[in-house]
Structure 1
Amino acid sequence: MHAPPSDDWEPVDIGESDTSVYRRGNTFAKCCGPSGIAELTAERDRITWLASTGFPGATVVDWLEPTSPQPDGLGSSSGGACLVTSAVPGVPGDTLPPASHDRAMRRLGATLRELHSLTDCPFERPLAEVIARATDVVRRDAVNPAYLTDEWRRLRPSELLAQVVAERPYIESVLEPVVCHGDACLPNIFFDPETLEVTGLIDLGRLGVADRYSDLALTTIQLHDEWSADPAPFLEAYGVPDPDARRLYFFRLLDPLTWG
């Protein structure tokens, strides 16, 4: 892993096993070992592209690889890389109090619709590649059961994958490709705690053109799980008050099979 920052950088516990994250003032440093460089590079490029559209979010401050000059306070490299970005103002969505949930859902629905309306995105996340990723995770027996519902944990991962494969023809017949976040969960969406406007998105490593339901599925289930909220205000503000339940289920099932 890239050498940890010096004492004026504070570690941030974000629950990732393959990266280390630090904060200093209004900047964050995400560091990885050699095996994580490609993934971190992909996140850097997506942050840069989204910032170029004017959409709210972080900006890239610095990019450090083994051949980079010694950065201020970031120590020496051990073969990895480090992405330094600006902090997004506001608070993550999972920390908002219940009284703000209804209005925040409406703001979030409008913001996600704006993201999905962006054009000329150079990144893609084809369904075939996502299913191939899930197939590999299942083959390696690397599915994290913590990401599964109680119902899904009663089945073998291979049985869950079989459900995905069986539904694939239907999903492909109704695909609506848009610019998706790829991990549109509440901790990755920041809000102004006073106005409840969305101030930015973080963790953009999966951003790219994909079916709009890949975002809608994750966001709606997060609203239910984290806020115990009916996602109707979010879906109404987004513009799909009567969503396709079959597509929501498909992408909710597919996502936890891709993280191993």
Structure 2
Amino acid sequence: MTNCPFTGLSGCRGDCCNWLVLTGEWVPVTSGESDTKVYRRGDGAAYAKVAPASGIDALRGERDRVAWLAGTGIPGAEVLEWSESGDGRACLVTSAVAGVAAVELPPDARPKAVERLAGMLRRLHDLDVAACPFVRPLGSVFGQAEDVVRRGAVNPQFLRDEWRRERPEDLLARLESELPYAEERAAGDLVVCHGDACLPNFLFDPDSLEITGLIDLGRLGVADRYADLALTAVQLVDEWDLDPAGFLTAYGLPDPDRRRLDVYMLLDPLTWG
């Protein structure tokens, strides 16, 4: 009998996912878009992610990003446990972040929450770029999109209505034509980006509306600030039916580069597949 790759949990016979459920101490979390399985501990104080062999590198990268961000003063989770088991899986356990996801806030809380979102992104983007060991250049992100389109794996649910009427290959070609412009404008303006700055990844104290932490950091790295701003702006429209102008003004960009925003608004949904 081998030990389960979680502190204090003995008796795992190899299949960590099934064992976690059978103990009754961990509850499956159904949200998420990847093959990595997520579990919440019964007391709510920790989360476990279990990745298959194909996802170990990505989960290892998320582990390192969580640990790095925890040392910057930006609120978020802490790494509690990491191991790679004999069944070809990797397991990451992190502390839970208190609060509720931004997307769950009631309408009357949203104006103040928008200001807090802008302030937190600004705080993240003001971190020392030289101290961040992770990079996410536009070219590599476009490469992800190329792979997703090539495999026919674009999820139409992530696309806006007008984009669904076009072939993914045509959307990709449009993006490729815009890459030189976006790369030129981003040069000298690179920041530490969250990489997946959507509303579910910002947690709030529902009473004070202070942000309690950032989660899902697998794409964190030095990149164009517009990568984060575009995704948050889209979410404010799609989830809260709000004009993102107030968010961008609160961030410090009352007159943003609309062309650059458009590049990242289209690029992100093509990278998930």
AA partner of residue 239 (structure 2): E
TM-score of the aligned structures, taking structure 1 as reference length: 0.94
Match of residue 97, structure 2, among 62, 75, 88 = 88
2:264 is the counterpart of 1:245: no
Within 1, Cα distance between the matches of 2:38 and 2:242?
31
Q: Give how far 1:16 is off.
A: 2.9
Stretches of structure 1 lacking an aligned partner (at least 5 in a row): 67-76
In the other structure, the counterpart of 2:113 is 104
Aligned length: 250
Q: Report the counterpart of residue 41 of structure 1 in structure 2.
A: 60
- After the TM superposition, which residues 120-159 of structure 1 pair with which residues of structure 2 at under 5 Å, given as runs? 120-159=131-170
- Give the 4+ runs in structure 1 shifted more than 6 A: none
* Structure 2 CA distance for partners of 1:134 and 1:2, relative to 1, 3 Å: farther
Distance in 2 of aligned mates of 1:247 and 1:16: 26
In 1: Cα distance, 2:174 partner to 2:236 partner: 24
Tell me, what secondary structure is at the counterpart of 1:174? helix
2:25 aligned with 1:14, yes or no? no
Task: Return the TM-score normalized by structure 2.
Answer: 0.89
- Distance (whole Å) between structure 2 residues aligned to residue 213 and residue 197 of structure 1: 23
Say if 1:2 and 1:33, in contact at 8 Å, map to a contact too: no
Q: Which amino acid counterpart does residue 154 of structure 1 have in structure 2?
A: R
Structure 2 residue aligned with 1:29: 48
Note the C-alpha offset of 1:233.
2.6
CA deviation map 1:59-80 (0-9, x unaligned) = 00000211xxxxxxxxxx5210
Match of 2:178 among 167, 181, 205: 167
Q: Which amino acid aligns with 2:155?
A: N
Q: Is the 8 A contact 1:218 1:251 kept in 2?
A: yes
- Once the two structures are TM-superposed, the CA of residue 106 in structure 1 deviates from its matched residue by 0.3
Higher RCO by CA contacts (8 Å cutoff, separation 6 or greater):
1
Identity %: 60
**Is the 1:213–1:251 Cα contact (8 Å) retained in structure 2?**
yes
The one-letter code of the counterpart of 1:13 is T
Q: Which amino acid aligns with 1:105?
A: V
Deviations 1:14-36 (A, max 9, x none): 13340111111200001111111
Shift of 1:45: 0.2
Gaps of 5+ in 2: 1-13
